[in-house]
Chain A
Amino acid sequence: MANVADVPKPSFRLSMLLYDTRYRSLTIQIVVFLLVMAGAAWLVDNTIRNLQALGKDFNFSFLGARAGYDISQRLVEYTNDSTHGRALLIGLLNTLLVAFLGCIAATVIGVLVGVLRLSKNWLIARLMTVYVEIFRNIPLLLWILLIYAVFTEAAPAPNAFRVNAETGEAATSMFLDAFAVTNRYTAIPNPVFGLDLGWLNIGLFYVSVDFLLLVAAIVVGFFLNRMALRRATRIQEATGDRPTTWWQSLLLLVGIPVAALIAMGFHFEFPELKGFNFTGGLNVSNSFMALWLALSLYTGAFIAEIVRAGVLAISKGQSEAAFALGLRPARTMNLVILPQALRVIIPPLISQYLNLTKNSSLAIAVGYLDLRGTLGGITLNQTGRELECVLLMMLIYLTISLIISGLMNVYNASVKLKER
């Protein structure tokens, strides 16, 4: 017993900072912290000295100065008298537009191709494999340039659509009398509201009241549909019989927006050849079309592989079990296969959406003025403020990425397998 008292009291020695696992991680972290701080201080100091040597300062007041350049595709009003900040907004909206439409088209292509690749049809499965391999293994830049070249070099001039007075025939005719692909732009029908309810100023830009009403109608329909489905579930849990809801869903999801559209006099204005150009419709620039198509086809190939892997990841036993329970194929797909496959598909799908958004910065190759083209291109060259422009551009892209991945993570959490 006496020995116990003789044991020396554990005291702190300096070497314990290195050899005792309790303290070692702390030492390492402090050293790393000091190194990182020193590195950051060195970079900032260099930047300040370099800026001084060049006689520049670091401020963002140039965003309020007159831009002085035109942007052909603008979703909200902009003239060359607007500010650089305004140009930034136009560029940002252009980026978001091509990214949004690209994500939709890529998902449609990807799901279609992914499912067809699993088809029992030998020919179609091979064809889809060829598509996926070709698009995945060749740089996106090539697809953008190639599709742009198809539009600008191989498409006819607007003049080719003119009906020759003598022969009564045109060199080229419009597709369905509504679409015309020319070497300068693609003319598509223009959606317009017959009943003009005016424009609402929401701070940065004006939004059509008709458009807001349409969005409101869709949202209301969506929520009413959810209430109807909840009610059906309640009844099912109480009585065991699920009331038929498909006609309610159809009415609420499609009927309400369509009613709103009809009430506001929605119709299409079709493009017509007047003089040397198409008027009446929307003339979408070829740079946008090329970028959008290339991004969709390229990302679609990746999404196809993700969808295929997701479906293959569900073991055959799952569908067999569902059939054994007497579920019909459609219900097996909806209730058994899809919920499980989605868990596998969603996370890589998110990163494909992010990739598409980031890849839209390749717009510079075809002269589509997105965020990279306005803020990181013309504004940067005109003002000579590389540091501010590039940092701001990175920050904006980073914010977009974080928002997309945040939103998709919420969705991912909702389809995740609830484990106990």
Chain B
Amino acid sequence: MSDTHAQTVPFVRDTMLPQANPPTTEAGAVRWMRENLLSGPLNVILTLLAIAAIYWVVQGMLPWLLASVWNAGSIAECRQIIADAGRESGACWAVIRERWPQFLFGFYPNHLYWRPVTALLLLFVALAPVLFSKAPRQLLWFSAIYPGLAFWLLWGGSVFVPVVALLGLALGWAAFHFGQRISPLAGVVAAILLPVLWWLFLAGPVAEDLGNLLPRSMPWWMEEVRSDKFGGFVLALTIGVSGIALSLPLGIVLALGRQSDMFLIKSLSVCFIEFIRGVPLITLLFTASLLLNYFLPPGTTFDIILRVIIMVTLFAAAYIAEVIRGGLAALPRGQYEAADALGLDYFRAQRLIILPQALKISIPGIVSTFIGMFKDTTLVVFVGLLDPLKGITDAVRASPDWKGIYWEPYIFVGAIFFIFNFSMSRYSMYLERKLKTDHR
């Protein structure tokens, strides 16, 4: 059969044809555009709309940006330069250049700028071992004393104030260490009680006495800077970083309290969290600035930045507690039971089994709370502090030289905030990838 068939076919190809190029519409940029931009009537419309939007923004912004002026002493001079160049309008970045120190430091004394800068640089050193596992572990000791050091650098004054405050922590650690030998409970109680007593009754007089004994403890270059001199990004970072550092432990405690079996602990935690989450931060800041004087013993005054930090911390802690509660709830029941089966007590089980996993799940939520808190530091302007966004830009506009300048300061401050927050969110993605074990 096949023979007859072979004779009926006039031609049989016996060599392979060379590979042909794909049609131009199915390769390269054309294909990419067909697939990604023009794959249907709806997509064509969307693409055209997007191009129109981009064109609208660019034609509005580009001439303005191209006519940027970087060197001028006032807005009038700026406008003159732009008019001389024959342009209609232009960005006057000279305001940023001229008021740069104010945006960064507020009204911090000029000759002491190196102090916040040093504090910021040391912050990176202190953060390195916490954030990246590759950094040397010995640096953790530096991280531990960094809060006192930063306080001293920022506010200045006697070195003994932070030293004495840190001593309280050391005292607590020592009490815990030696108390454990008597009984675990005695250790915990002593570790809480001793530092509190130290801070309440002894710390103040001791710091004062030491300061009097050694008058050279306050060198001229460490003169005291009052809180109302703080402003700009120094203020935002001070509040933001201390709030972040303090709210995480408090949030963990609140989350564990809310999951607790003990009725009283649980209801207290729930009330606190729901109260804080139910009111705007602005009202809490108001409480800090107006009402704290009512709640504290008559005659007590304490620093407004400290009060704001406390309120911001409480606020963020309530949100972090909810995020961590989600992480705790997401853990399979078996993890808790396994910890019990190993005979671990409550704290060991939490520390070794539950929290490492729960915190890992909660990382994105925690970081977005931090980002939210850093953004919220701008609200301190409503209690009279000079935040970079409204406090400083208003102060800049208040001078006759820069009256009527709006866009440039806002864009500058917004860009700085964007850089900080965007890098925080990228770091959280990095951490998520690093800790991903694919068990779940």
Contact = CB atoms under 8 A, between A and B. Distances in A.
A137 interface: yes
Nearest to B416: A138
| Chain B contact surface mostly | helix
A93 interface: no
B389 A141 contact: yes
A46 B375 contact: no
Interface stretch (A195-203, A215-223, A391-399): A391-399
Interface in A149-169: 149, 153
A141 B390 contact: yes
Contacts of B406: 149, 153
B177 interface: no
B46 A116 contact: yes
B407 A149 contact: yes
Given A122-B36, A138-B414, A142-B414, A401 B277 contact: yes
Interface string B32-58: 000111010001001101110110000
A146 interface: yes
Contacts of B379: 141, 362
Nearest to B186: A18
Contact of B47 (A43, A121, A354, A359): A121
B86 interface: no
A53 B297 CA distance: 11
Contact of B376 (A47, A139, A401): A139
Given A121-B36, A137-B425, A397 B278 contact: yes
A389 to B, nearest CB: 9
Interface in B380-406: 381-382, 389-390, 406
Interface stretch (A26-34, A73-81, A250-258, A273-281): A26-34
Interface stretch (B258-266, B327-335, B347-355): B258-266
A208 interface: no
B92 to A, nearest CB: 14
B264 A376 contact: no
Contacts of A361: 280, 282-283
B390 A145 contact: yes
B6 interface: no
B43 A120 contact: yes
A86 interface: no
B96 to A, nearest CB: 15
B290 interface: yes
A248 interface: no
B291 interface: yes
B53 A127 contact: yes
Interface string B76-101: 00000000000000000000000000
Nearest to B264: A29
B242 interface: no
Interface of A: 18, 25, 28-29, 32-33, 36, 43, 46-47, 49-51, 53, 116, 119-124, 127, 133-134, 136-142, 145-146, 149, 153, 354, 358-359, 361-362, 364-365, 372, 376, 386-387, 390, 393-394, 397-398, 401-402
Given A29-B262, A364-B282, 16 more contacts: A32-B264, A49-B297, A50-B294, A51-B294, A124-B46, A127-B54, A137-B375, A138-B375, A138-B418, A138-B421, A141-B390, A146-B407, A361-B280, A390-B286, A390-B291, A394-B287
8 contacts: A46-B297, A49-B298, A116-B46, A145-B389, A145-B390, A387-B294, A390-B283, A398-B279
